[in-house]
Chain A
């Protein structure tokens, strides 16, 4: 069985470096991934193309510029990006295509596929591999998620992705989602995982065993929260299990040591904060924002995560941290 490996270091990893990637850094990593046999490298702001906003943090370089830089040095590997409808626009996607984009992943909350229908269709008409990428899939049932996947297939998506964006799920919970969708759609399914509770690699493998044929990983695990499943480790496991990825795991390791490890700013280990985030089921990119606010105001991050969970926030609602902290401060003053 062949598995396509998508490396998200240069997009999801953007969250972990506060969106400061330079075109030179992108090119070095892309060259390494290309030589290692990776199917596609995803590049851009953490929130995708058009995602450079105050809400997430402004990007040092525009996503379009980074796509162009990546494309310039990639010989065999596809260059992809993420687009979050409601944030990135169809104009942004056209600009990405002009810069050399091969693949777009239209990222929607797990129950909101229709919001991205236009963008998936535009991707197709631009000749891109056009993927619908469902985020925060722990927040809906396998059956409802399968229903969304059927809709996405109708829009013309080439692949459906399921993301455990909060790094929340157990392997069987994640696998149930792939199994339910597998019964309903005929296009390939991909999986994207986070390592907040230590299941970055494990859940990627669980997803493949359940029928996924695309898998995301990040070099050195560089991604939001405690990062994504480590690409090299995923490839090693898949090798052992007899899947064909076309990737050379040791070249991935070397690329990581040489080009990615020096960029790591904060620990990508499983920490108390990442476990608390994962347990609460909060979108992984909240990690650094909560950390900053909790340190600035001397608030226990657990209090912030609990309130975020009570409010049932989804991806893109980092602004809720601001008033949660202000409310906690006001309460403290009243005491």
Chain B
């Protein structure tokens, strides 16, 4: 590996892909090399205007020019990921960071299981709710295991795309499954509310936990506060609205997320945490690769 940055390609030049691109521009570890779509589009034009090489030939373009990227961000659809982008990257041995709901790769949140994720080449970002809440539930359950965790997520209606709105069960169930996989919790339930208020509210997640056994709420609060702080390093708008308290014998805490307003509007914290987490994971891969390359 030469140079200080790792080249990346973004597949899917929509809102998410464009927001990712803006974040890559800022990255110390990633270089925006290629924006890939399947048709000429606003997003392709936007990337070109920014001086980024573009292609409308899909992942095939990267297959023919493998030197152009070592890390691929997939901001297309579950179908495209499963049928085209994931198999192509696997064949080329490239890392693919999946922001679609395909979830065929290892699910990852940077602050919970990145070490395991770095061992594989296809990782999935779960859902926005998963990125926002699994680290907090992890932080609670490392102090006291939970019998039950419940998440109430509310997002601005305008920030939820048709993929989420038309498949709301899939969204809540995927998030709940990730909680069970990534934290010490026996049962989990996720509830989602879309709020059309104007001005648009930020993403908000209330987390309820029924603990198993004795615990000190101060220790829980300390653990959660430390976790929130570490997330703020890559999601600046991540805010601990309510540090853990005990309400009706239930551990209760609230996090709100404002976006950075890169391409997506600032209220869309739910999307910002997805793209910011993806970039964080990409950077950790890049650092990992550079360390290995330096050996």
Contacts and interface: CB of A to CB of B under 8 A. Distances in A.
B166 A90 contact: no
Interface in B235-291: 241-242, 245, 247, 250, 252, 254
A54 B250 contact: yes
B237 to A, nearest CB: 17
Nearest to A315: B193
Contacts of A91: 169
A317 B154 contact: yes
Main secondary structure on B side of the interface with A: strand
A313 B195 contact: yes
Contact of A54 (B150, B154, B166): B150
Interface in B197-218: 197, 201, 206, 208, 210
Nearest to A51: B191
A54 B208 contact: yes
A53 interface: yes
A27 to B, nearest CB: 28
A178 to B, nearest CB: 21
A322 interface: yes
A118 B163 CA distance: 12
B172 interface: yes
Contact of B162 (A114, A313, A319, A323): A114
B195 A53 contact: no
Nearest to B242: A323
A109 B150 CA distance: 21
B16 to A, nearest CB: 20
A289 B84 CA distance: 50
Interface stretch (A15-23, A81-89, A254-262, A263-271): A81-89
A87 B191 CA distance: 5
Contact of A53 (B165, B167, B168, B191): B191
A115 B194 contact: yes
B169 A90 contact: yes
B157 A319 contact: no
A312 interface: yes
B223 interface: no
A297 to B, nearest CB: 11
B168 A319 contact: no
A86 B194 contact: yes
Interface string A73-98: 00000000000011101110000000
A145 to B, nearest CB: 12
A298 interface: no
B152 A111 contact: no
B196 interface: yes
B129 to A, nearest CB: 11
Contact of A114 (B165, B173, B189, B208): B165
Given A85-B168, A323-B242, A53 B196 contact: no
Most buried by A among B154, B168, B241: B168
Given A114-B166, A312-B195, A326-B242, A53 B206 contact: no
B56 interface: no
A300 interface: no
A323 B195 contact: no
B197 A86 contact: no
B192 interface: yes
A72 interface: no
A140 B195 CA distance: 12
Contacts of B206: 55, 319, 322
A91 B172 CA distance: 12
B197 A312 contact: yes
Given A54-B150, A55-B191, A111-B196, A322 B166 contact: no
A317 B169 contact: no
Nearest to A312: B197
A55 B169 contact: no
B58 to A, nearest CB: 29
Nearest to B209: A54
Interface string A296-335: 0000000000000001111111010011001000000000
Given A53-B189, A311-B201, 17 more contacts: A86-B168, A89-B169, A90-B169, A109-B193, A109-B194, A111-B196, A117-B166, A118-B166, A140-B196, A312-B197, A316-B152, A316-B154, A317-B152, A322-B206, A322-B247, A323-B241, A326-B245
Across the A-B interface, the 10 shortest Cβ-Cβ residue pairs? A312-B197, A319-B206, A86-B192, A54-B208, A111-B196, A316-B193, A89-B169, A323-B242, A87-B191, A54-B150
11 contacts: A53-B191, A54-B208, A55-B208, A85-B168, A86-B168, A89-B173, A112-B157, A115-B166, A115-B168, A115-B194, A314-B197
